[in-house]
Amino acid sequence: MTTSSRTAPWASPKAQQRLCEVEAAIGGLDPETVLKAVREALDAHASQFDDDGIVLYAGTNVLSPAARSAVATAVSNRPSMGWPGEKYQVGLDHLDTLEVLAPLLVADLMEGSYAEVRLQSATLANLAVYSTFAEPGDTIAVLPEAAGGHTSHHAQGVPAIRGLTVVDLPYDPDVLDIDYDRLPSFLREHRPKVVVIGASLMLFPHDVGAVREAADEVGATLLYDASHMAGLVAAKQFQRPLVEGAHVLTFSTYKSFGGPSGGAVVTRDAELAARISTTVYPGMVANYDAGRLGALAVTAAELAASGPGYATDCVTTAQALALALDERGFDVAGHDGEFTRSHHVAVDAARLGGGEPAAARLGSAGIYLSGIGLPWQHPSEGLRGLRIGTQEIVRRGFTPDDTPAVADLMGRVLLDGEAPESVRPDAVALRRRVNGR
Ligand SMILES: *Cc1c(COP(=O)(O)O)cnc(C)c1O
């Protein structure tokens, strides 16, 4: 029997089923019962991720203790609109320090001159860039979805809100990168206003200089979306998009960057920065959340002070995990004898029943990650791959020496067919061993 949920009767059958389950379990809607239910959910979630889980999900992280201490929830509840010195609200002057530190530190760290940090997500940061450089009816060129092109690059996402046409850049699955030979003629044919590179799965860097050259020929703005790579870019590892030729860099502040939730736009060009800033305010935000800017500033300062250490650890741990997974019998994606130069690893899960079912089985074993499209897959295959990121386990204290144990737990679930529930105690034990160091 299918009953429809009250929360979202238009959601998919799979979502309906879960929504109905949760709705049925609600004990009451009085404030006391609601508070109790919320607290229980938060506590259970915290122990699952902070004590027990092995989190390999590539798009997340944990705040450093210092950054956590700078999160200001009381400030988040206060509206703040406009520039310091001309705030709509009177009396917010103390917070001006946060509003200056965050953009200055972020701009410096990413090798830009100006940073826009008031947007709540990278999706909105991308919309701000599209809206600044493309008019309704214009075209943008982005990476194909199966090559890690994000929803916020594609027709179902924010480009549609700006009324843009989206075309896929030519891509070479064999080298896991843009097809640079075909790029110039492709851009001449489609004449996009914005070219977007950078993806949700990035094992190898792009040739930013080559894309910039082709973009210049058609007068396009080159946007490098470093949502996932920001923590590495901050350390001048992997690649340096603004130095190599990107006009604009966007990123999520909470993925490998390891800060509070949010989005950022960075550029070296004062004129571009001014135009983007005006799109953002008053175009896209009125009041914004100043309560996360302190934590963002502290995160950026810590990344600057720690040099390449954290990023290098993320990459060496990813390379060790890729090798361990390969040795355990997984089909690990790679090119030219290399599995990855970033903190990402991709496993082809075609033999394992596909990325999403495999990720669900690992979840039952206390190992959390996601499916991902792979450039060589057929559109009908769903998400063919598993995507892994090492940015969180490194912060939690895992080292390359721990990766064979992680690969073995994954192998027991996905290759040996062991019941996830019987693997879970060993996954928890590994996590707690690392916690105890
Ligand atoms: C995650 C991601 C985004 C969106 O980030 P949000 O901050 O969640 O909006 C944008 N682009 C890419 C490539 C991403 O992977």
Domain boundaries, the chain: 66-305, 308-435
Mean pLDDT of 252-273: 98
How would residue 405 be classed by pLDDT, with cut points 50, 70 and 90? very high
Average pLDDT, stretch 221-240? 98
The order of strands in the sheet holding 194-197 is: 114-116, 263-267, 248-252, 221-225, 194-197, 139-142, 165-168
Considering the domain 308-435 in this protein, what is its CATH number? 3.90.1150.10
Q: What is the pLDDT of residue 3?
A: 79
Ligand 1 atom with minimal separation from the 125 CA: 9
Tell me the pLDDT band of 84, cut-offs 50, 70 and 90. very high
Average pLDDT in the 194-211 region?
Answer: 98
Distance, CA 123 to ligand 1 centroid (Å)?
Answer: 6
- pLDDT, averaged across the chain: 97
Percent of the chain with pLDDT over 90: 98
Quick: pLDDT tens for 113-133: 999 999 999 999 999 999 999
Q: Does domain 66-305 have CATH number 3.40.630.30?
A: no
Q: How confident is the model at residue 2 (pLDDT cuts 50, 70, 90)?
A: low
Claim: this prediction has a pTM higher than 0.75 = yes
**Is it the case that residue 61 has pLDDT exceeding 70?**
yes
On the question of pLDDT at 436 being above 60, the answer is yes
Ligand 1 atom index nearest CA of 124: 9
3-state secondary structure string, the chain? CCCCCCCCCCCCHHHHHHHHHHHHHCCCCCHHHHHHHHHHHHHHHHHHHHHHCEECCCCCCCCCHHHHHCCCHHHHCCCCCCCCCCCCCCCCHHHHHHHHHHHHHHHHHCCCCEEECCCCCHHHHHHHHHHHHCCCCCEEEECCHHHCCCHHHCCCCHHHHCCCEEEECCEECCCCEECCCCHHHHHHHHCCCEEEECCCCCCCCCCHHHHHHHHHHCCCEEEEECCCCHHHHHCCCCCCHHHHCCCEEEEECCCCCCCCCCEEEEECCHHHHHHHHHHHHHHHCCCCCHHHHHHHHHHHHHHHHHCCHHHHHHHHHHHHHHHHHHHHCCEECCECCECCCCCEEEEECHHHCCHHHHHHHHHHCCEECEEECCCCCCHHHCCCEEEEECHHHHHHCCCHHHHHHHHHHHHHHHCCCCCHHHHHHHHHHHHHHHHCC
Overall average pLDDT of the 296-308 stretch? 96
For ligand 1, atom 1: residue with the closest CA: 227
CB of 249 within 8 A of CB of 93?
Answer: no
- At 336-348, the pLDDT tens digits run 999 999 999 999 9
Distance from the alpha carbon of residue 5 to the mean position of ligand 1, in angstroms: 29
| Residue 1 in this model has a pLDDT that exceeds 70 | no
Ligand 1 site residues, Cβ closer than 6 angstroms: 59, 121-123, 150, 152, 198-200, 225, 227-228, 252, 263
Find the mean pLDDT for residues 422-435.
98
Look at residue 158 and tell me whether its pLDDT is greater than 90: yes
Mean pLDDT over 403-423 rounds to 98
Q: For a pocket test of ligand 1, which of 227, 255, 256 has the largest count of ligand atoms closer than 8 A to its C-beta?
A: 227
